[in-house]
Amino acid sequence: MAVIIDGNKIAQEIRGEVRAEAVALKKNKGIIPGLAVVLVGEDPASKVYVTKKAKACTEAGFLSRQHKLSVDTAEADLLKLINELNADRSIHGILVQLPLPKHISADKVIAAIDPRKDVDGFHPYNVGSLLTGSPLFVPCTPRGIMELISRTGISLPGKEAVVVGRSNIVGKPIALLLLAQHATVTICHSKTKDLAAVTSRADILIAAVGKAQMITEKMVKQGAVVIDVGVNRLDNGKLVGDVAFAEVAEKTSYITPVPGGVGPMTIAMLMKNTLDAACSQLSGHS
């Protein structure tokens, strides 16, 4: 029977470590890590995420600044705000909550963020640097997955890793991070032929698709490690992942649940990225 990886517990550990480091930073250097979160419009899910991020900042002892802009904010005004935050020395991390309204180019806005404050890791500089192996910031969900793997003591060198999903925020970056840790990596997507044949090879299987319970027991190798990134709501309101948990867990050595697996790690890593931003801006190395 599988070991269920407790993302809530690991995320709490990390948030405790970050809090302790933030206290030390304030005491020794007089610096309080600052995160600015920008929300444009009234998207209900985005509002929930922004509130959670602000609460996590407060718990970590960070300065939390929220900029809530109306849905009809002009792109030029948002870019002006980003420039002001880039220049604000009390703000070390800037996060623009996505999606943005259609009349604003997310690419343009992300590119306007100073890469040294890009705690989401979406700026083209950090995306490119992830490819060459030295990013200032790694996107929070993939970084969280790597922490789950390393803190569980799972070894990666030489392992066959299969990532299902190739999005810029999860699939591609997690594939690069696994490669950097010497796994042999395959990326699958909607055009992959015979998906089950590929996933069945995986020692480490990452599901980041957004299709409820699509990874079934037949698609998983005996003893595999399965990390489920998917978050899907069923008609009955239940939250499930991309993996058919009960049947797949029987076959795995380690598996993450949904909820309580990858999800809590994302905010924990946002706090870690913001702390890292404060430390590197202090030392002037970035």
Is the CB of residue 77 less than 8 Å from the CB of residue 108? no
Is the CB of residue 47 less than 8 Å from the CB of residue 68? no
219: which residues sit within 8 A by CB, 6+ positions away?
195, 196, 199, 200
* C-beta closer to ligand NDP: residue 116 or 272: 272
Residue among 256, 266, 273, 281 that touches ligand NDP (CB under 6 A): 266
Residue 255 interacting with ligand NDP (CB under 6 A): no
- Angle at CA 107, nearest 5°, toward 106 and 110? 80
* C-beta closer to ligand NDP: residue 252 or 266: 266
DSSP string, 213-236: T-B-GGGS-TT-EEEE---EE-TT
Q: What is the per-residue binding string for ligand NDP in 158-197, x denoting contact by CB under 6 A?
A: ------xxxx-xxx----------------xxxxx--x--
For 135-171, letters b (16+ CB in 10 Å) and e give bbbbbbbbbbbbbbbeeeebebeebbbbbbbbeebbb
Residue among 97, 141, 213, 273 that touches ligand NDP (CB under 6 A): 141
Residue 262 interacting with ligand NDP (CB under 6 A): yes
DSSP single-letter state for residue 259:
S
Q: Are strands 160-164 and 93-96 parallel, antiparallel or unpaired?
A: unpaired
Min dist. Cβ of residue 74 to ligand NDP (A): 27
Min dist. Cβ of residue 149 to ligand NDP (A): 15
Instruction: Decide if 181 is catalytic.
Output: no
Tokens for 92? Answer: 């070390």
Instruction: Decide if 53 is catalytic.
Output: yes
Q: Are strands 232-233 and 239-240 parallel, antiparallel or unpaired?
A: antiparallel
Instruction: Decide if 102 is catalytic.
Output: no
* C-beta closer to ligand NDP: residue 113 or 270: 270
Tokens for 151? Answer: 């803190």
Residue 106 interacting with ligand NDP (CB under 6 A): no
| Residues numbered 191-230 forming contacts with ligand NDP, rule: CB under 6 A | 191-192, 195, 208-211, 229-230
Min dist. Cβ of residue 67 to ligand NDP (A): 22
Min dist. Cβ of residue 27 to ligand NDP (A): 32
* C-beta closer to ligand NDP: residue 14 or 229: 229
* C-beta closer to ligand NDP: residue 220 or 229: 229
Given 118, 120, 228, 242, the catalytic residue: 120
Amino acid at 6: D
- For 67, phi then psi, to 5°, come to -115, 105
Catalytic residue list: 53, 97, 120
Binding stretches for ligand NDP (CB under 6 A): 141, 164-167, 169-171, 188-192, 195, 208-211, 229-232, 262-263, 266
